[in-house]
Amino acid sequence: MSHEHDDHHEAPSFALEIPEFEYLRYEVDEGIAWVTFTRPKALNALAADVLREIAEVSEVIAEDPEVRVAVFTGEGKAFVAGADIGEISELKEVFVAREYSLGGQEVMNHIAALPLPTIAAINGYALGGGLELALACDLRVASNKAKLGLPEVGLGLIPGFGGTQRLPRLIGAGRAYDLILTARHVPAEEALQLGLLNRVADDVIAAARKLAQQIAKNSPVALALAKESLARGVDVPLPEALEIEADLFGMACTTKDMREGTSAFLEKRAPEFKGE
Ligand code: CAA
């Protein structure tokens, strides 16, 4: 055990351990965490090892005190072209395949449950498990060349990483039946009309950065509480959902960020949120 820092009188700092990733890159710039999938030769397909790294990077994001917003994107012509079809082709036993689906869902659930806003910056194909990953994010921005879809029925499969459930919750059942039963690839402009995307841009990275910066100006605690209220309210009846909102509104009013935000407004100055 080294004591090389004993002579210094620095404040003890919390050292975040970032694992070595093989299939993705993790960078933090001005409070924005960028997760870039780096397996373009396989169109960033989600092999088991990639899914494991996504679960790991989600933990890093959740623990990194510098991060206010996380953006997921891909290198090359795909965001993510789905789960790895080679691996899926080996699935035969119902229980093994069920576990495979549950495992993928868990990774998507990790992303959905992150206590900070997440953006999918869809640079190209977002198909199958790739669209399911984007659906687990809070917001979706796409390049105008992107194609989105759940093509699983064309492979004799069904979406298994949350697609049959998150898609209808986002865009409505009628539109979800259309996309899932036709297996078609939807161009970005149409996906925007369907409510599947929040923005379409020539430069998806610039658009995602702008959106992330707009979000990051706000109170991190309020962002986490707003996200929690939105997420928890979806699956419960309205009266119960409104109770959830009131509980979380109550919590927001106990925070330093709320004191700061309201004081700053009344004092006609910009707020300085500490996330407390
Ligand atoms: N799994 C494994 N490998 C994939 C892949 C995937 N999902 N998608 C693409 N690849 C591989 C290709 O096999 C090819 O590899 P080789 O160079 O070794 O041959 C490489 O990536 C490049 O792909 P293409 O040559 O096919 O590129 P293209 O430009 O001609 O076509 C595409 C692009 C239309 C996206 C096409 O690759 C495609 O249809 N991919 C599969 C999309 C798909 O069906 N996704 C759903 C997967 S199932 C799923 O996700 C289940 C779930 O819900 C959990």
pLDDT tens sequence across 21-56: 999 999 999 999 999 999 999 999 999 999 999 999
In a domain, 8, yes or no: no
Residues 160 and 180: their CA atoms lie apart, in Å, by 12
Shared-domain flag, residues 145 and 202: yes
Residues 184 and 144: their CA atoms lie apart, in Å, by 17
Ligand 1 centre distance from Cα of residue 82 (Å) = 7
Shared-domain flag, residues 117 and 71: yes
Q: What is the mean pLDDT of residues 98-117?
A: 98
In a domain, 65, yes or no: yes
229 near 244, Cβ under 8 Å? Answer: yes
Out of 41, 43, 148, mutate this one to test ligand 1's pocket (max ligand atoms within 8 Å of CB): namely: 43
Could you list the active site residues? Answer: 132, 152
Shared-domain flag, residues 147 and 224: no
Confidence at residue 221, expressed as pLDDT on a 0 to 100 scale: 97
3-state secondary structure of 24: strand
Nearest-CA residue for atom 8 of ligand 1: 81
Residue ending a domain, among 194, 216, 238, is 216
Structure tokens that stand for 55 in this block: 């679960």
Out of 85, 122, 161, mutate this one to test ligand 1's pocket (max ligand atoms within 8 Å of CB): namely: 85
Give the atom of ligand 1 at the shortest distance from the alpha carbon of 43.
21
Residues 72 and 49: their CA atoms lie apart, in Å, by 17
Domain at 171, CATH number: 3.90.226.10
Shared-domain flag, residues 194 and 207: yes
75 near 36, Cβ under 8 Å? Answer: yes
Residue type, 122: I
3-state secondary structure of 71: strand
Ligand 1 centre distance from Cα of residue 43 (Å) = 6
Task: To the nearest 10°, report the CA torsion of 114, 206, 142, 48.
Answer: -50
Is the pLDDT at 253 greater than 70, yes or no?
yes
Handedness of CA 109, 169, 119, 249 (dihedral sign): negative
Shared-domain flag, residues 119 and 201: yes
Shared-domain flag, residues 148 and 243: no
CB atoms within 10 A of CB 55: 16
What is the total count of domains within the chain? 2
Shared-domain flag, residues 187 and 237: no
In a domain, 210, yes or no: yes
Q: 81 CB less than 6 Å from ligand 1?
A: yes
Q: What percent of the chain has pLDDT over 70?
A: 95
In a domain, 141, yes or no: yes
Confidence at residue 13, expressed as pLDDT on a 0 to 100 scale: 58
- Identify the domain containing residue 238 by its residue range: 220-266
Shared-domain flag, residues 258 and 144: no
Shared-domain flag, residues 70 and 104: yes
Q: 40 CB less than 6 Å from ligand 1?
A: no
Confidence at residue 14, expressed as pLDDT on a 0 to 100 scale: 64
Shared-domain flag, residues 84 and 123: yes
Is the pLDDT at 7 greater than 60, yes or no?
no
The band of 6, judged by pLDDT with boundaries at 50, 70 and 90, is very low
Packing angle between helix 256-266 and helix 220-233, nearest 10 degrees?
A: 110
- Please write the tens of the pLDDT for every residue from 171-224: 999 999 999 999 999 999 999 999 999 999 999 999 999 999 999 999 999 999
Is the pLDDT at 1 greater than 70, yes or no?
no
Give the atom of ligand 1 at the shortest distance from the alpha carbon of 86.
2
Ligand 1 centre distance from Cα of residue 116 (Å) = 31
Confidence at residue 11, expressed as pLDDT on a 0 to 100 scale: 53
Confidence at residue 163, expressed as pLDDT on a 0 to 100 scale: 98
Give the atom of ligand 1 at the shortest distance from the alpha carbon of 84.
1
In a domain, 3, yes or no: no
In a domain, 261, yes or no: yes
Is the pLDDT at 139 greater than 90, yes or no?
yes
Domain at 252, CATH number: 1.10.12.10
Nearest-CA residue for atom 36 of ligand 1: 81
pTM of the complete model:
0.94
Q: 152 CB less than 6 Å from ligand 1?
A: yes
276 near 257, Cβ under 8 Å? Answer: yes
Give the atom of ligand 1 at the shortest distance from the alpha carbon of 158.
53
Mean per-residue pLDDT of the chain:
95
